[in-house]
Amino acid sequence: MAVSSDTSSRRFQTAQLAMMILSCAIVMLMIPGNALATRLCLLPLSLPFEEGDERFEVVERKITAVFVDAGFEIAEPEGVLEVYESVNEQWGEIFDPLSGRVRTPMQERFTRELGGAYREELGCDALLRVTLAVVRAMYTTPTAHWDGTKRQVVTTGRTILTMLAGQTEYGWVAALSLWVRLMDPEGENIGFRSAGIEPLVELSLSRDLDKLPIDRWLREEEFLDAAIESALGTSAQLLRTKGTSQGPIDEDALDWPGAS
């Protein structure tokens, strides 16, 4: 059967239009902010500093950079907090004012509604919680060991003195650790990693225990960088591959960008 030139032309134009639509769809999938990207809600950071301290910005910037490099989108803490406060205002107090105990049924409904709000209003697939925790580190002259990290806590002079006396000091000292946790929008754990940052005390000849003032905590950025590398690795791959007691994070729990 013969086909007119007009019909052939329309078919060609239709094929061209289909190819253009397909090309646009592919480009949209590659643009940050598309609906198919895995998006994390970064919860307000939990740090042992006054609100507004510049160290909040340092930690947030460094952690965010790791996950953005991994291919995630990040919803910033300010927006996440607004969603939480909005849902919290609607629900009111989930603690019983007389007993002080959590009203479990109310808490469960609150958790479900909050998770739904994170998904619907912010498009989040998971929550990212970052904590700097003050922990106890065991030390044996001259080094403290905790969370896969070791740092010197005993001065050289004190170490030499104890060695000459044939003694070995050991005990516990305060230290700072990085905790990074991934959770689903309802708060169920997906993965967790930690690493030590720095000791918060020093043992010297003149004083048994010299506590580091809080305004001097986290001033050595290379210590924080080392902790982030130890906990997360390049593009957060250590969290993906070693984030649970069984090893890797369950593929069904989170769509990790670029994971085959």
- Cα separation, 39 vs 199, whole angstroms: 34
Q: In the prediction, which pLDDT does 23 show?
A: 46
Report residue 221 CA to chain centroid gap: 17
Q: In the prediction, which pLDDT does 170 show?
A: 75
What is the token pair recorded at 102?
């959590």
Q: In the prediction, which pLDDT does 258 show?
A: 81
Whole-structure pTM value: 0.79
Q: How far is the CA of 146 from the CAs of 129, 140, 195, 200, 238, in angstroms? A: 21, 12, 8, 12, 18
What is the token pair recorded at 134?
């003050």
> Is the CB of residue 168 less than 8 Å from the CB of residue 140?
yes
Each residue's pLDDT tens digit in the chain (260 positions)? 444 555 555 554 554 544 544 444 433 434 444 445 799 999 999 999 999 999 999 999 999 999 999 999 999 999 999 999 999 888 766 666 666 676 677 788 889 999 999 999 999 999 999 999 999 999 887 789 999 999 887 655 555 556 665 666 778 999 999 999 999 999 999 999 999 999 998 775 455 557 889 999 999 999 999 999 999 999 999 999 999 999 999 999 999 998 75
